[in-house]
Copies of this chain bind each other. A is one copy, B any other.
Amino acid sequence: MANRILYNIAFAPPEDRVQEYQEFLENVKRADTEVKVVALERTSLGLNFRYYLALVLPDILHIIKKAEQEGYDAAIIGCFNDPGLQVAKEMANIVVTAPAEASLHIAATLGQKFSIIVGEADSIPPVMENVISYGLKDKLASFRSIGLRASELRKDEEETAHRIRQAAREALEQDLAEVIILGCTVLYGFSREIQKNLGVPVIDPVVAAFKYAELLIELKKRFHWWHSERVGFEHPPKDRILT
């Protein structure tokens, strides 16, 4: 039976973007996986602001809970800040993963140090919190910013790619990075050309999240390995439920 993955764009993207993600992921998935892309109805691009995240977090969780009820095997929280990933693992009974989690673990396997290319410097603190929380801060060579807001990243794709190459080269030469991570899901699809140019792995966070989800589904279905329900991820007991 096919594995079913829901990719939730965890913000409200420009029109047509949902369809573009859908097509992109059709080319990323394994043959026996089904993918469906959905988006939030409210919030601007990007969740760097904790306040926006606080407001849409119940929506994100609701989508995951609904995916679980509809029989999905996994839900991906599609934003590089991995918004709500820990809480989703706590309350969901399906696999949940997110772009930074997946990208960081893959990058840490492919090289000794990775650098993360972000749009703007103000994205760094929340991502850094996750790097620390995932236990991988010793593998981080650097952050490098390209000075573009999330909403500007796809306006002039040549310019965006140019800036990424430049930032990545600085990361490779000055910070001794061995792997580059594109630190924003809006940059899906950029890695292939840049990778050819640089000669090092350039991780596409949307692809990484998707392949990681497929791995985790397989581990769950065949070996019953999945998010621990103890201590940090203990599921809320029924007698403490909100009314």
Chain A residues engaging chain B, CB cutoff 8 angstroms: 28, 30, 42-46, 49-58, 61, 84, 86-87, 90-91, 97, 101, 105-106, 108-113, 121-122, 124-126, 129, 132-139, 172, 176-179, 191-192, 195, 199-204, 207, 211-212, 215-216, 218-219, 222-234, 236, 240-243
Closest Cβ of chain B to A151, distance in Å, is: 9
Task: For A122, list chain B residues within 8 Å (CB).
Answer: 231, 234
- With the chains together, A56 CA to B54 CA distance in Å? 10
10 contacts between A and B (CB under 8 A): A44-B241, A49-B91, A105-B108, A110-B228, A112-B232, A125-B232, A135-B135, A135-B138, A135-B139, A178-B230
Q: Are B129 and A133 in contact (CB under 8 A)?
A: yes
Q: Are A236 and B51 in contact (CB under 8 A)?
A: yes
Q: Are A228 and B178 in contact (CB under 8 A)?
A: yes
Q: Are B200 and A236 in contact (CB under 8 A)?
A: no
Q: Are B133 and A136 in contact (CB under 8 A)?
A: no
Q: Are B242 and A43 in contact (CB under 8 A)?
A: yes
Given contacts A86-B50, A125-B231, contact A135 B137 (CB under 8 A): yes
Closest Cβ of chain B to A186, distance in Å, is: 14
Q: Pick the 5 closest A-B CB pairs, nearest first.
A: A111-B228, A50-B87, A178-B228, A135-B139, A112-B232
Q: How would you classify the secondary structure of chain A's contact residues: helix, strand, loop or mixed?
A: helix
- With the chains together, A124 CA to B230 CA distance in Å? 12
Task: For A57, list chain B residues within 8 Å (CB).
Answer: 54, 57
Number of this chain's copies in the complex: 6
Closest Cβ of chain B to A215, distance in Å, is: 5
Q: Are A228 and B201 in contact (CB under 8 A)?
A: yes
Closest Cβ of chain B to A8, distance in Å, is: 15
- With the chains together, A46 CA to B43 CA distance in Å? 29
Contact with A219, one of B56, B137, B211 (Cβ below 8 angstroms): B211
Task: For A177, list chain B residues within 8 Å (CB).
Answer: 230-231
Given contacts A57-B57, A109-B216, A110-B226, contact A121 B50 (CB under 8 A): no
Most B Cβ at <10 Å: residue of A138, A172, A216: A138
